[in-house]
Amino acid sequence: MMDTAVRPQTSAFQQWWVLTVRMITPTLRNGEVVTLIAAAIMFSIGFYLPLKGLMGGFPAGMSSYAQYLMPLIALNGIAFAAISAAFRSATDSVQGINRRFKTMPIAALTPLAARMSASVYRCVVALCAALVCGHIIGFRFYGGVGHAVGFCLLALLIGAVTSLLGDLIGAANSNPEATVPLMLVPQMILGLLSVGLQPIERFPAWIQPIVRNQEVSQFVYALRPLGGDSTPAAGEVTWSVMGPTFAWLAGWILMLIPLHVYIATRRR
């Protein structure tokens, strides 16, 4: 009788873990972690130092410009992490790694889950660097442990959704170099045209509705009361403040998940 080879049993969790480690390990030796930290420092210095004097006092009655600016510093840090996610996704696509995964006994969405886990790891690094930079320039949490944890969790949720968008752009584009401007330019424009830098009243009247309702401003509105302030100017954590942010995130998720399923299951 001929012996038949027995295929070793594998679990989806093991596959996810191996692919996640594959995505995280290179960041420890290729300088990507250093780049994320440097980006947080660059955003903090680039926004805080030149704009502190130009604001003409502390905006919106808050105790310091650092307190006002911190949500945007955090958002820019995790946005840079999402750009890394898009670049990695595009690299895997152009190198044929995604096509190879489709020929292996791996669930269609397991590679995506691994890439998203690695993206959350990048967002954690970027957020920690942003919080350290914010602390140096004067930011403090005033709402207690619960609000501080809420600030971090909401920022990471925003980072995860942004990374999900970046991963889709990278997988569909298959051009690592093109993913950087596709992700960076819109995020920079939305950041500059947001209430993260200055109050809505300082924008021209004709553009105020756009500035107030676009997603980055809504994210800032939600993060600011979680960070708190020594004055009541930061606002309170209410559903009217947090609701638009969750609506934006839910809308992006409902749109992105079916597109990811389509890309992960299509055959060329």
Q: Does 5 fall in a domain?
A: no
- Using an 8 Å Cβ cutoff, are 256 and 165 in contact? yes
Kindly report which listed range (53-57, 179-183, 213-217, 230-234) carries the lowest average pLDDT score: 53-57
Per-residue model confidence (pLDDT) at position 245: 95
Q: Does 9 fall in a domain?
A: no
Q: Does 196 fall in a domain?
A: yes
- Using an 8 Å Cβ cutoff, are 10 and 104 in contact? no
**Average pLDDT of the residues in 180-203:** 87
- Tell me the torsion sign for CA atoms 135, 248, 238, 156: negative
Per-residue model confidence (pLDDT) at position 173: 72
Q: Does 160 fall in a domain?
A: yes
**Average pLDDT of the residues in 168-197:** 82
* Neighbouring C-beta atoms of residue 136, cutoff 10 Å: 13
**Average pLDDT of the residues in 156-167:** 92
**pLDDT at residue 183 is higher than 90:** no
Containing domain of residue 185, as a range? 19-265
Separation of alpha carbons 240 and 236, rounded Å: 10
**Average pLDDT of the residues in 150-172:** 90
Q: Does 146 fall in a domain?
A: yes
Kindly report which listed range (118-122, 182-186, 225-229) carries the lowest average pLDDT score: 182-186
Task: Quote the mean pLDDT of the chain.
Answer: 84
Q: Does 247 fall in a domain?
A: yes
Summarize pLDDT for 23-69 with one digit per residue, the tens.
888 777 777 888 888 888 988 888 888 887 776 556 667 888 889 99
Per-residue model confidence (pLDDT) at position 1: 47
Separation of alpha carbons 69 and 47, rounded Å: 8
- Which structure tokens are listed for 231? 């004055």
Q: Is 18 helix (H, G, I), strand (E, B) or coil?
A: helix
Residue with the larger pLDDT of the pair 155 and 177 = 155
Eight-state DSSP code of residue 8 = P
For residue 22, give every residue at least 6 positions away whose Cβ sits within 8 Å of its Cβ, in sequence order, or none. 114
**Average pLDDT of the residues in 83-91:** 81
For residue 212, give every residue at least 6 positions away whose Cβ sits within 8 Å of its Cβ, in sequence order, or none. 195, 200
- Using an 8 Å Cβ cutoff, are 36 and 53 in contact? no
Summarize pLDDT for 93-139 with one digit per residue, the tens.
777 776 777 667 777 778 888 888 988 999 999 999 999 999 999 89
Q: Does 148 fall in a domain?
A: yes
- Give, for 224, the enclosing helix (H) or strand (E): helix 215-227
Q: Number of folded domains in the chain?
A: 1
Per-residue model confidence (pLDDT) at position 58: 61
* Gyration radius of the chain's alpha carbons: 21
**pLDDT at residue 140 is higher than 70:** yes
Q: Does 7 fall in a domain?
A: no
Separation of alpha carbons 237 and 219, rounded Å: 13
